[in-house]
Amino acid sequence: MSQNIFSNLNKYNQSQRLAHIRYDIRGPIFDKATELEAAGHKIIRLNIGNPAPFGFDAPQTVVDAMANNLRRSQGYSHHLGIMSARQAVVEYAKKQCIEGVTTDHVFIGNGVSELILMTMQAIIDAGDEILVPSPDYPLWTAAVGLSGGTAVHYLCDEQADWYPDIADMKSKITPKTKGIVIINPNNPTGAVYPSEIVRSIVELAAEHKLIVFSDEIYDKVLYDDNVHYPTATFDNKVLVLTYGGISKNCMAAGFRGGWLIVSGPVSEAKRILEGLNLLASLRLCANVPTQQAIAVALSDDSQIKSLTSSTGRLSIQRDLIYDMITQIPGVSCIKPKGALYLFPKIDLSRFSFDDDEEFAFDLLSKQHVLIVAGKGFNYLYKDHFRIVFLPNETLLSDAGVRIGAYLDGRRV
Ligand code: PLP
C-alpha cells in the first residue's frame, strides 16, 4: 500500500492563531488551584469577577422577568435582539446623553465577551493596529490577535491614578492604527477616568479618524462620589462602540447578557454596521431568556447603588482588603474608584522571588490563595497582581492575612 504523503503532518495541532493568545484568569495557575482542590485543599479564589459564588444575587425583578417569559423565549429572536431589550438600551443611551441611537444601532449579545469578539472580527483586517491599554482586560488583546490584527499597548500610568498616558497613546498611532480601546471603569486597576482624560482620547480619535471601543461594563460599579463619563457623549463625529451588560451591574454574570451601542457618524460606518449584522446573523441570536430581563435590569439600579454606597457590601470589602494590602511593607496600591478589583504593586527588591508569576504560583502552593499575576493583564512590568474583592469580609481578611504571611516569609 502506498504511503500517504500527508501522514507526517499532525492534524491534531491547534491553530497557530492561538500561539500568542492568553487568558491567565483561567490559565495554568487556575489549573493548579483546581488540582489542589481535587487533592482536598481549600483554595481562596480571588481570580475572577464572578459575583454569584460569593453570595451576590441578581435582583429578583430580573430573575422574574426571565422566568416569567421562558415560554415566549423558545424560538430564535431577531439577530440584533428582541425589540424590548433594544428599546431599553436606546432609552439608556438617551439618559446618558448619547445622541442619535436607534434600535438598528444596538446589538444584544451573550455577554460583552461575544460582542468584543464579534466587533473585532467585523472591523479588523490583517495588519491593522488597535491601541489597547496596558494593563488590560485580556480578552481585548486576544480578540485583536484572533482577528488578525496587532494589539499595540498604551500605558496606563500608576503614578497618575492609572489614567491612560495620552502622550504614550499619541506616540503609538501609526497609519495602520484603526481604533483605540478604553476600559472605563477599569479592570484590573479600578480607575474611573475624569472627563478631561476621556475628552483627550476622543480628540485624538477625531484627529486621526479612529474608532473608539469603549468597554463600560462597570459603569455603575462606582465608589465614593466618582462619576462615570460615557465616551460616546463627547463628540458625535467620532465613531464610538460602547459595550455594557448585566454581568457586573446586576451581579448576573451567568445569564450572559450584554449590549453594544454604535454611535457617532453611523451613516459613514454603514459597511461596519452591515458587517456586524452579518456576524450577528451567523450566530443567530443571543440567548432569548436573558434578553427578556434586559429592560427590567436597565430600569432599576437600586441594588448596585446600595452595594457601592459607603455602607454597602462592595465598598466595605474594597476598604477592608485595600487597608490590609497597603499595610504590608513593600506593597502599595492605588485605591480603586470603581469595578471589583485591586491591582497592587510589589517592590521586588524587597522579596526573594523574581516576578509576579513566581509570586502568584508560590502564594497558591504555600497559602492556597489564588490571585492573577499582572502579566495576565498584558502589563509591561512584572511586579503587580490582581485581587477580586467579591468574597465576604471573613474570607477576604483570611486572604489578606495569608498574603501578608507569605510575603513576610519571602522578605530579603
Ligand atoms: N469587559 C471587562 C472589562 C470585563 O472585566 C469583563 C468580565 O470580567 C468583560 C468585559 C466580559 O463581560 P461579560 O460577562 O459581559 O462577557
Distance of CA 116 from the midpoint of ligand 1 (Å): 9
Task: Give the pLDDT confidence of 273-317 residue by residue, as tens digits.
Answer: 999 999 999 999 999 999 999 999 999 999 999 999 999 999 999
Coil, strand, or helix at residue 178?
strand
State residue 306's pLDDT score: 98
Query: Nearest C-alpha to atom 12 of ligand 1 is from which residue?
Result: 112
Q: According to the model, what pLDDT value does residue 6 have?
A: 62
Rounded to the nearest angstrom, the distance between the alpha carbon of 343 and the centre of ligand 1 is 17
pLDDT band at 17 (very low <50, low <70, confident <90, very high): confident
Give the number of the atom of ligand 1 that is nearest the alpha carbon of residue 248: 14
Inform me whether the pLDDT recorded for 2 exceeds 60: no
Tell me the three cell numbers of residue 360.
Answer: 502568584
- Where b means 16+ CB within 10 Å and e means fewer, 253-269 reads bebbbbbbbbbbebeeb
Contact criterion met (CB below 8 Å) for 250 and 303: yes
Ligand 1 centroid to residue 160 C-alpha, Å: 24
Closest by alpha carbon to 244, among 222, 256, 225, 259? 259
Q: Kindly give the distance from the C-alpha atom of residue 139 to the centroid of ligand 1, in angstroms, as a whole number.
A: 8
- Which mutation among 181, 247, 341, 378 tests ligand 1's pocket best, with the greatest number of atoms within 8 A of CB? 247
The answer to whether 210 touches 179, Cβ cutoff 8 Å, is: yes
38 band by pLDDT with thresholds 50, 70 and 90:
very high
Number of the ligand 1 atom closest to the C-alpha atom of 246: 15
- Rounded CA separation 381/378 (Å): 9
Top mutation candidate among 108, 139, 228, 291 for ligand 1, by most atoms within 8 Å of CB: 139
Distance from Cα 36 to the centre of ligand 1, integer Å? 27
Give residue-wise pLDDT tens across range 310-365.
999 999 999 999 999 999 999 999 999 999 999 999 999 999 999 999 999 999 99
Q: 355 C-alpha to center of ligand 1: Å?
A: 26
Ligand 1 atom nearest residue 183's Cα: 3
Contact 404, 342 (CB under 8 A): no
Nearest atom of ligand 1 to the alpha carbon of 247: 14
Nearest CA-CA partner of 127 in 147, 142, 143:
147
Assess whether pLDDT exceeds 70 at residue 5: no
pLDDT in tens, 354-394: 999 999 999 999 999 999 999 999 999 999 999 999 999 99
* pLDDT band, very low/low/confident/very high, at 20 (cuts 50, 70, 90): confident
Ligand 1: lining residues by beta carbon, under 6 Å: 49, 111-113, 137, 183, 187, 215, 217, 245, 247, 253, 258
What percent of the chain clears pLDDT 70, i.e. is strictly above it?
A: 98
Q: What integer pLDDT is reported at residue 39 of this predicted model?
A: 94
Residue nearest to atom 7 of ligand 1 (CA): 49
For the beta carbon of residue 50, count every other beta carbon within 10 angstroms. 18
Distance set, CA 90 to CA 70, 80, 83, 261, 298 (Å): 24, 13, 10, 8, 11
What single letter denotes the amino acid at residue 188? P
What pTM was computed for the model? Answer: 0.96
Say how many Å lie between the CA of residue 113 and the centre of ligand 1: 6
